């Protein structure tokens, strides 16, 4: 695997059994993701965006082809090995935030570090740093129910980046946010992308999100229709 590649996908096919036969959700997908890319999967509903992200995240298995993520070929790996990959290397951000309602902001962000078995002191400083990034230091003790949607998604971002993963997967992260919060959240992710060279992979319909992407992969009917490098993203200042 190329040192520079964080994801390598070769001739990927994903079929779902439906009724007696099957439905092909992805066909002949071949592509690489380079370290530091801010990539979006874009396409109509049902085109396979979520399916592809799930496969990259080790949440779903390919039917054919090979997928290598962070130097780990996913074929033939068991649940434990895939869980380890996610735990150490991948952060997830969901459309619906998925914070744990009974825990505070601090504890929600702390959770991935507990899974990694990090000690208390390191945890505290990492969580505080992550919360500073997303500018939520004044909400450490709040519960998710006491936060706005935008704040919830910022907590989710902090939770995804607190372990400083190489790759963050975000499926429609702005779908439940208004314009202002969407820009706010995307701005945060752009900063992380720059400062930590964290690679991001989005699935999105959102024009605002697209305005930040450095690369847009267009999916239609489970196929890559177009792979476009964006040299001057609309909302992205600087480089």
Partner 1 sequence: MVRFLIKGVLRDRSRSLLSFLIIGGCVTLTVFLRGFFVGFLDDMLRQSAVLLTGHVKVTTRAYAEEADLLPNDLAILEVDSLLTVLSAEYPDLFWSPRITFAGLLDIPDENGETRTQSPMMGIAVDLLSEDTRQPELWDLAPKITRGRLPREPDEVLLGEEFASRLEVEPGETATFIGATMHGGFTTYNFRVAGMVSLGVSGIGDYFILADLEGARQALDMEGTASEIFGFYKDMYYDDPAAVALTAGFNRIHKRADDAYSPFMQALRDQNQMGQIVDIAQIEMWVIILIFMTVVTIVLWNLGLMSGLRRYGEFGMRLAMGETQGHVFRTTLGESAVIGLGASVVGTAVGLLLTYLVQEVGIDYSSMMEGYDFPMTLVMRAKVTPDCWFIGFIPGVFATMLGTILAGRGIYKRQLSQLFKELELEA
Distances (CA, A) of 159 to 86, 96, 205: 13, 14, 24
Site for ligand ATP in 154-213 (CB under 6 A): 203
Are residues 68 and 7 in contact, defined by beta-carbon separation less than 8 angstroms?
A: yes
Beta bridge pairs of residue 22: 17
- Of the candidate spans 41-49, 70-78, 131-139, 182-190, the one that interacts with ligand ATP by CB under 6 A turns out to be 41-49
Among 30, 71, 83, 229, binds partner 1 (CB under 8 A): 83
- Of the candidate spans 5-13, 26-34, 62-70, 96-104, the one that interacts with partner 1 by CB under 8 A turns out to be 96-104
* Closer residue to partner 1 in complex, CB, 44/225: 44
Residue 204 CB, nearest distance to ligand ATP (Å)?
9
Residue 229 CB, nearest distance to partner 1 (Å)?
29
Beta bridge pairs of residue 8: 32, 68
Number of residues that bind Mg ion (CB under 5 A): 1
Which strands sit side by side in the sheet containing 38-42, from one edge to the other? 90-93, 167-171, 199-204, 38-42, 215-220, 223-229
Q: Which does 25 bind (CB under 5 to 8 A by kind): Mg ion, partner 1, ligand ATP, none?
A: ligand ATP
Residue 165 CB, nearest distance to ligand ATP (Å)?
22
- Of the candidate spans 1-9, 113-121, 130-138, 219-227, the one that interacts with partner 1 by CB under 8 A turns out to be 113-121
Site for ligand ATP in 66-105 (CB under 6 A): none
Distances (CA, A) of 12 to 45, 68, 153, 218: 20, 11, 31, 16
* Closer residue to ligand ATP in complex, CB, 59/118: 59
CA dihedral 43, 45, 51, 54 (to 10 degrees): 90
Alpha helices in the chain (DSSP H): 49-56, 79-89, 105-116, 120-133, 149-161, 179-196, 207-210
Site for partner 1 in 150-179 (CB under 8 A): 159, 176
| Contact residues for Mg ion, defined by CB under 5 A | 50
């Amino acid at each position: 695997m190329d040192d520079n590649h964080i994801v390598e996908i070769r001739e990927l096919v994903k079929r779902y059994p439906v009724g007696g036969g099957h439905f092909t959700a992805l066909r002949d997908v071949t592509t690489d993701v380079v370290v530091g890319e801010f990539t979006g999967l874009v396409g109509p509903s049902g085109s396979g965006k979520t399916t592809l992200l799930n496969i990259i995240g080790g949440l779903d298995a390919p039917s054919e082809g090979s997928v290598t993520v962070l130097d780990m070929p996913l074929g033939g790996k068991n649940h434990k090995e895939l869980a380890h990959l996610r735990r150490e290397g991948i952060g997830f951000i969901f459309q619906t935030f998925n914070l744990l309602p009974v825990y505070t902001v601090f504890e929600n962000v702390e959770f991935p570090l507990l899974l990694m078995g990090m000690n208390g002191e390191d945890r505290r400083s990492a969580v505080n740093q992550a919360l500073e990034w997303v500018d939520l230091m004044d909400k450490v003790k709040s519960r998710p129910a006491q936060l706005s949607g935008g704040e919830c998604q910022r907590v989710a971002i902090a939770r995804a980046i607190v372990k400083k993963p190489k790759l963050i997967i975000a499926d429609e992260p702005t779908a439940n946010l208004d314009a202002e919060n969407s820009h706010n959240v995307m701005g945060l992710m752009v900063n992380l992308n720059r400062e930590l060279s964290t690679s991001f992979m989005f699935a999105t319909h959102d024009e605002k999100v697209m305005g930040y992407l450095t690369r847009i992969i267009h999916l239609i009917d489970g196929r890559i229709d177009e792979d476009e490098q964006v040299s001057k993203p609309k909302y992205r200042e600087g480089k």
